[in-house]
């Protein structure tokens, strides 16, 4: 079968859920039995998202093959329960970088390298590479129509359409219909203008997805039909999700769009027959558990860079938040997360006592010295007061520092990321990181294997104790792959000291050099990992450590 394309573009304003809409439609296609892939186009000149400020762009998403990408890729993976490659992200920087490299090598000898055809050709080449083996590829173009920087990509889509024929490609515009408070009326004008701007690029949308506070009424649908020349049945309402009480979830969106018949309408437009009837039972079940949870647990997430101006940017830890939601849905509870800036514990000596009122503590990934001593105090409190603790990457490193200081008696123990002259560098730079000067894409990135020891809690959580078909248990080291993004590691010179004082190194790299998982015995739950298991969590398959953590919090 030839690959079919669904192009998603944004109109009016950004940040209205284009990524979630794309992920939802992808899931609707997957439910119909198709092999689906999703590409995110980011029109910025950065080669990837690795060097972007998290307070502006949200947390960076890491793929198995070590790509550092915008969170939208996270949404796709979470909704589809499938891993994508760094090739599923295309940026302007990547396009120009490869064109310039090819030009210098002499690949275009004699030619003038120009915007047309070289830029659209490079964009199409990358799209086709991802399309291999997929029935349907969704392409989400970042930004909004009218932005200078997405013109090359719209041009490339038109050029792709010319090549493959219009039955094999459709366009969906996600817009926003504001309701100005002084008139309390939903306005369709900005959407009309967005359609006009898209047409200036030769593209007539096949579907308009209308975001807004409320559902689009028939009058406005008809108006848009008239002004945008698009059948009202293809104008789809996507109002803010309502939820029940204080519970709400984006995972309801594919179910809502299904009610609007969008999945079948897209198949019709692309002249496709569904391969199987969508079966949403497990999905509905999980959504139901999020909306009507039986219990509530409170988790303190102690991190930094939470405040920007008057706003708390909880997007900095979006994958951790989502992984908690997945685990909560599985365990029929709701997780209320309180984001606490760790600096708070540094200024107020008794402040850390407030952690008593939480069912669990998470210290997520982080960089730099800001708030580090506060995080260490929080970890100490959780360890000493039997409060479930989950440490992620920096959260493992600081748990080791805390343990070294307070249990191994190495009072000045530290990570050399913060104090390079400590006499006890329990966390030190990875040897292969020592001579790296370039910042972009040079961390230890992507999926690495850990050998998890039989008899540990981590082993149990990852299913090591599951009974084999033969009726026996495996009792052999379990290979676990999780994604990484770091430059520092537990210093091998201190492994013995940590173990002698009671820490269990539950998982190591296959050469035994890198600590991947730690845990403490005689504690409700004290587990940390050098990896980021949140990157492999999806609604129907929560990450094992998050699942275990939530269960421990429920006890
Ligand atoms: N800053 C630490 C390192 O580079 C931890 C990174 C992280 O938490 N992702 O090793």
Segment 20-65, tens digit of pLDDT:
999 999 999 999 999 999 999 999 999 988 888 776 777 889 999 9
Domain match, 130 and 238 both:
yes
- Ligand 1, atom 8, lies closest to the CA of 365
Active site residue 534: yes
CA distance 193 to 173: 12
Query: What number does the ligand 1 atom closest to the CA of 364 have?
Result: 8
Domain boundary among 240, 265, 286: 286
In a mutational test of the pocket of ligand 1, which residue from 397, 426, 444 has the highest number of ligand atoms less than 8 Å from its CB? 397
Q: Report the separation in Å between the CA atom of 397 and the middle of ligand 1, taken as the mean of its atom positions.
A: 8
Q: Assess whether pLDDT exceeds 70 at residue 311.
A: no
Q: Which is the catalytic residue, given 47, 393, 408, 553?
A: 393
Residues 352, 490 contacting (CB under 8 angstroms): no
Q: Assess whether pLDDT exceeds 60 at residue 243.
A: yes
Domain match, 300 and 405 both:
yes
Question: For 340-351, what is the mean pLDDT?
Answer: 85
Q: Assess whether pLDDT exceeds 90 at residue 495.
A: yes
pLDDT in tens, 149-180: 999 999 999 999 999 999 999 999 999 999 99
Domain match, 209 and 354 both:
no
Give, in order, the Cα–Cα distances in Å from 235 to each of 45, 208, 340: 33, 5, 42
Q: Assess whether pLDDT exceeds 90 at residue 315.
A: no
Q: For residue 262, what pLDDT is reported?
A: 97
Domain match, 202 and 93 both:
yes
Question: For 464-488, what is the mean pLDDT?
Answer: 85
Query: What number does the ligand 1 atom closest to the CA of 427 have?
Result: 10
Q: Report the separation in Å between the CA atom of 417 and the middle of ligand 1, taken as the mean of its atom positions.
A: 9
CA distance 468 to 448: 25
- Ligand 1, atom 3, lies closest to the CA of 486
Where does ligand 1 bind, in terms of residues with CB under 6 Å? Answer: 365-367, 393-394, 397, 417, 485-488
Total domains in the fold of the chain: 2
Domain residues for 425? 294-554
pLDDT in tens, 371-429: 999 999 999 999 999 999 999 999 999 999 999 999 999 999 999 999 999 999 999 99
CATH number at residue 221: 3.40.50.300
Q: Assess whether pLDDT exceeds 90 at residue 437.
A: no
Q: Report the separation in Å between the CA atom of 322 and the middle of ligand 1, taken as the mean of its atom positions.
A: 20
Reported confidence tier of residue 314, pLDDT bands at 50, 70, 90: low
Question: For 115-119, what is the mean pLDDT?
Answer: 94
Q: Assess whether pLDDT exceeds 90 at residue 186.
A: no
- Ligand 1, atom 5, lies closest to the CA of 394
Reported confidence tier of residue 312, pLDDT bands at 50, 70, 90: low
Q: Report the separation in Å between the CA atom of 367 and the middle of ligand 1, taken as the mean of its atom positions.
A: 5
Domain match, 340 and 282 both:
no
Q: Report the separation in Å between the CA atom of 434 and the middle of ligand 1, taken as the mean of its atom positions.
A: 15
Q: Where are the alpha helices (DSSP H) in 270-371?
A: 281-291, 318-330, 343-347
Domain match, 343 and 222 both:
no
Q: Report the separation in Å between the CA atom of 444 and the middle of ligand 1, taken as the mean of its atom positions.
A: 10
Active site residue 532: yes
CA distance 302 to 378: 8
Domain boundary among 225, 253, 286: 286
CATH number at residue 424: 3.40.50.880
Query: What number does the ligand 1 atom closest to the CA of 443 have?
Result: 4
Q: For residue 51, what pLDDT is reported?
A: 84
Query: What is the chain's length?
Result: 555
Q: Note every long-range contact of 159-165, with CB atoms under 8 Å and residues 24 or more positions apart, other chains counting.
A: 159/120, 159/124, 160/5, 160/124, 160/127, 163/124, 164/2, 164/5
Domain match, 163 and 220 both:
yes
What global pTM score does this model have? 0.91
Domain match, 423 and 334 both:
yes
In a mutational test of the pocket of ligand 1, which residue from 400, 417, 431 has the highest number of ligand atoms less than 8 Å from its CB? 417
List b or e across 20-42, with b for residues whose CB sees 16 or more CB atoms inside 10 angstroms. Answer: bbbbbbbbbbbbbebebbbbbbb
Mean pLDDT of the chain: 92
Q: For residue 389, what pLDDT is reported?
A: 98
Domain match, 299 and 367 both:
yes
Domain match, 276 and 415 both:
no
Domain boundary among 255, 286, 317: 286
Domain match, 281 and 343 both:
no
Query: What number does the ligand 1 atom closest to the CA of 532 have?
Result: 9
Could you give the percent of the chain with pLDDT greater than 70? 97
Domain match, 467 and 405 both:
yes
Reference 12, options 195, 150, 182, 157; nearest CA is 195
Query: What number does the ligand 1 atom closest to the CA of 488 have?
Result: 10
């Amino acid at each position: 079968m030839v690959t079919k394309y669904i192009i998603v573009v944004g109109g009016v304003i950004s940040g209205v859920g284009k990524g979630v809409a794309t992920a939802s439609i992808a899931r609707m296609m997957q439910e119909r039995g198709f092999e689906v892939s999703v590409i995110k186009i980011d029109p910025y000149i950065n080669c990837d998202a690795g060097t972007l400020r998290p307070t502006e762009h949200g947390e960076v998403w890491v793929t198995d093959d070590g790509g550092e990408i915008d969170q939208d890729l996270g949404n796709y993976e979470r909704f589809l329960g499938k891993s994508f490659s760094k090739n599923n992200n295309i940026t302007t920087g990547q396009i120009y970088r490869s064109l310039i490299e090819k030009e210098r090598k002499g690949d275009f000898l004699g030619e003038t390298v120009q915007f047309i055809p070289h830029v659209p050709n490079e964009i199409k080449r990358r799209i086709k590479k991802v399309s291999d083996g997929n029935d349907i590829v969704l392409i989400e173009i970042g930004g909004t129509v009218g932005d200078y920087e997405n013109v090359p990509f719209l041009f490339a889509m038109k050029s792709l359409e010319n090549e493959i024929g219009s039955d094999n490609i459709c366009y969906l515009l996600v817009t926003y219909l504001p309701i100005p408070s002084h008139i309390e009326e939903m306005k369709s004008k900005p959407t009309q203008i967005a359609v006009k701007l898209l047409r200036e690029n030769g593209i007539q949308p096949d579907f308009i997805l209308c975001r807004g506070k409320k559902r689009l009424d028939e009058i406005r649908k008809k108006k848009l039909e008239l002004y945008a020349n698009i059948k009202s049945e293809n104008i789809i309402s996507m109002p803010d999700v309502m939820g029940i009480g204080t519970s709400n979830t984006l995972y309801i969106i594919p179910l809502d769009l299904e009610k609007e018949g969008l999945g079948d309408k897209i198949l019709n437009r692309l002249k496709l027959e569904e391969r199987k009837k969508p079966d949403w039972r497990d999905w509905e079940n999980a959504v139901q558990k999020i909306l009507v949870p039986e219990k509530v647990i409170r988790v303190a997430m102690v991190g930094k860079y939470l405040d920007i101006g008057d706003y708390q940017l909880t997007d900095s830890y979006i994958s951790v938040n989502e992984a908690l939601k997945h685990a909560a849905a599985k365990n029929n509870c709701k997780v209320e997360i309180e984001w606490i800036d760790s600096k708070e514990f540094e200024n107020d000596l008794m402040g850390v006592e407030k952690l008593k009122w939480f069912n669990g503590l998470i210290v997520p990934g982080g960089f730099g010295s800001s708030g580090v001593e506060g995080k260490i105090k929080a970890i100490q409190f959780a360890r000493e007061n039997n409060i479930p603790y989950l440490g992620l990457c920096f959260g493992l490193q600081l748990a080791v520092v805390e343990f070294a200081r307070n249990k191994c008696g190495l009072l000045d123990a530290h990570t050399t990321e913060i104090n390079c002259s400590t006499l006890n560098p329990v966390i030190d730079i990875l040897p292969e990181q020592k001579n790296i000067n370039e910042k972009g894409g040079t961390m230890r990135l992507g999926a690495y294997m850990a050998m998890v020891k039989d008899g540990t809690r981590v082993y149990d959580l990852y299913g090591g104790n599951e009974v084999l078909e033969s009726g026996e248990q495996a009792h052999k080291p379990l290979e676990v792959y999780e994604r990484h993004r770091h430059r520092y590691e537990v210093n091998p010179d201190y492994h013995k000291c940590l173990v002698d004082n009671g820490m269990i190194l539950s998982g190591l790299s296959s050469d035994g050099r890198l600590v991947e998982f730690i845990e403490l015995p005689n504690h409700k739950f004290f587990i940390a990992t050098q990896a980021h298991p949140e990157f492999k969590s999806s609604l129907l398959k929560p990450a094992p450590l998050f699942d275990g953590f939530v269960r421990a919090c429920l006890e």
